[in-house]
């Protein structure tokens, strides 16, 4: 039974048919599939399939990326109250676009994936000052700061990732908080993340979820 549910869910997601995806979820619940199985055996594997597709074809349809993440986040949020016991949250991240940057689509894709992967993610919005990234990460006990930039001048600007790294260093937070970046400038120059002081970068919104989870595992709990 689960195999047919997985197949139907994947087909709906990859067709970007949100209503069909939720119909699959509701039918599965009516057939007795647990909320835990829906998340861990259906939703998260669908995200992982999309990750592998992106690896094979970096120009895969952006609408599929977005809808896979969006549906995953919404289904997960619906399932969590139905879990027999509260799920273990891997960690917390704060995310936003760099100072001077107003683009948000990539950030929204990342958030959807992180929510389905049991990461508590807080959206700081767009045009976020470096100080706010650090202040909120400290206040919320986040293990990762994720900064999106879609333009070269916001990726490399002195009020972007470079400033965040400087603040982490000055405040003695580099062993507690990891720094990840993403966006078009980093795809054009895969080594750019190093020059702006990030610990890692992600080539797209979906694979960013895995990168952030991996970074969280490097950080000792505060």
pLDDT in tens, 177-202: 999 999 889 888 989 999 999 999 98
Q: Which pairs count as long-range contacts for 10-18, CB under 8 Å and 24+ apart, including other chains?
A: 10/46, 10/49, 13/46, 13/50, 13/64, 13/67, 13/68, 13/71, 14/50, 14/64, 14/68, 16/63, 16/64, 16/67, 18/67, 18/70, 18/71, 18/74
Residue 182 main-chain phi, psi, to 5 deg = -165, 165
Whether 46 and 150 map to the same domain: the answer is: no
DSSP 109-144: HHHHHHHHTTEEEEE--SSB-HHHHHHHHHHTT-SE
Whether 105 and 201 map to the same domain: the answer is: yes
What 3-state class would DSSP assign to 151?
Answer: coil
Whether 28 and 127 map to the same domain: the answer is: no
- Structural domain range at position 207: 91-218
Query: Which of residues 32, 49, 82 is at a domain's end?
Result: 82
Q: Is 45 exposed, middle or buried (0-12, 13-18, 19+ CB in 10 A)?
A: middle
pLDDT of residue 176: 93
Domain count, the chain: 2
Query: Which of residues 82, 99, 124 is at a domain's end?
Result: 82
Whether 50 and 97 map to the same domain: the answer is: no
pTM comes to 0.79
Give residue-wise pLDDT tens across range 23-75: 999 999 999 999 888 988 898 888 777 766 665 665 556 667 777 778 888 88
DSSP 183: S
Query: Which of residues 64, 82, 100 is at a domain's end?
Result: 82
CATH code at position 11? 1.10.1240.10
Whether 124 and 72 map to the same domain: the answer is: no
pLDDT of residue 118: 85
Contacts of 204 (CB under 8 A, 6+ apart): 54, 58, 65, 106, 109, 182
């Amino acid at each position: 039974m689960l195999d047919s549910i997985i197949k139907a869910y994947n087909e709906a997601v990859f067709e970007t048919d949100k209503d069909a995806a939720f119909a699959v979820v509701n039918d599965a619940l009516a057939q007795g599939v647990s909320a835990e199985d829906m998340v861990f055996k259906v939703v998260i594997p669908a995200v992982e399939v999309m990750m592998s597709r992106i690896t094979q074809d970096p120009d895969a349809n952006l609408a599929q990326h977005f809808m896979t993440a969006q549906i995953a986040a919404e289904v997960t949020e619906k399932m969590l109250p139905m879990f027999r016991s509260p799920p273990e949250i891997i960690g917390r991240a704060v995310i936003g676009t760099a100072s001077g940057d107003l683009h948000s689509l990539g950030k929204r894709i990342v958030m959807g994936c992180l929510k389905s992967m049991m990461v508590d993610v807080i959206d700081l919005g767009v045009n976020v000052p470096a100080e706010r990234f650090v202040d909120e990460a400290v206040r919320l006990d986040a293990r990762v700061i994720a900064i999106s930039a879609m333009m070269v001048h916001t990726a490399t600007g002195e009020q972007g990732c470079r400033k965040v790294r400087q603040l982490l260093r000055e405040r003695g937070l580099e062993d507690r908080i990891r720094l990840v970046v993403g966006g078009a400038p980093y795809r054009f120059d895969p080594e750019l993340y190093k020059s702006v002081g990030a610990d890692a970068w992600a080539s797209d919104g979906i694979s960013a979820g895995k990168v952030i989870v991996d970074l969280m595992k490097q950080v000792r709990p505060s």
